[in-house]
Amino acid sequence: MAERAQDVVTWETVEPGITAVTLRRPPANALGIPLLDGMHLAMDAAEKAGDVKVMVIGSALPGFFAAGADIKHLSTIDAETFTAYGDRMRAVNDRLAASPWLSIAAVDGVALGGGLELAMACTLRVAGPGGRFGLPEVKLGLIPGAGGTQRLPRLVGRGRALDIMLTARQVSAEEAYRIGLVDRLTDGDATEAALTFARELLGPSLPAQLSVVRTVDAAFDLSLAEGTRYEVEQIQALFEDGEAAEGISAFVGKRKPQFR
């Protein structure tokens, strides 16, 4: 029986503002077409709900976050179909990175190749003790093709990114945390730790938080002067749409702000 996208990716509202997305495609959450389509369905549902502030992406499979591209699928396709498959992987990651909510990857198991690229497309990453990270595409005569060569250097720097990609080695959770690939490390369950992290993100203004992400990301592409101008534009927009006014008014009035 053909796999259904809604079976290999499921989602639920954990509490107001937090959606948990779970990858469940045995044996290793390979990023086949059903899983990619399932990620789009989960994001469609979040957009339709309109009240998602944080999306936590985790796995139901012990030992695996996502093992990467579907190698069996790759072995059956030609160059043109390979290009289309890569486009589908990139579309998921680009949509996730640009989504109107924050996202956290909960990794307690291997996140390799496309699996790591999916995790890096998230705003933040949490790792459990079993987390293992790598971009081993050179072993297949390929390079990372869903954002890996671009996002990894931005997170860990050029030298460390080249080390990881050229050797095709796996990085432990501890090393990933030390070099900045992972933002929080837990001795317990990665998904539970990511949900705790998500709750910390619920209080502040989401438009302000997204502005922070956009401005920090711009720092990698703009000069200091250009980045500072962009920062000013983001601040001005928050005043113009009333978000800053509500925050300041609430602070002065010693009340809880009613952010959008």
Residues with a catalytic annotation lie at 69, 114, 117, 137
Alpha carbon distances (Å) from 244 to 53, 205, 235, 236, 252:
18, 9, 8, 9, 12
Give, in degrees to the nearest 5, the angle at Cα 45 between 1 and 192: 90
The burial of 154, by beta-carbon neighbours within 10 Å (0-12 exposed, 13-18 middle, 19 or more buried), is given as middle
Give, in degrees to the nearest 5, the angle at Cα 202 between 197 and 205: 130
Hey, what amino acid is at 136?
P
| Contact indicator for 120, 155 with CB cutoff of 8 Å | yes
9 closest CA partner among 34, 30, 46:
34
| Contact indicator for 103, 57 with CB cutoff of 8 Å | yes
Query: In what helix (H) or strand (E) does residue 250 lie, and over which residues does it extend?
Result: helix 243-253
Q: CA-CA distance, 187 to 94, in Å (whole number)? A: 30
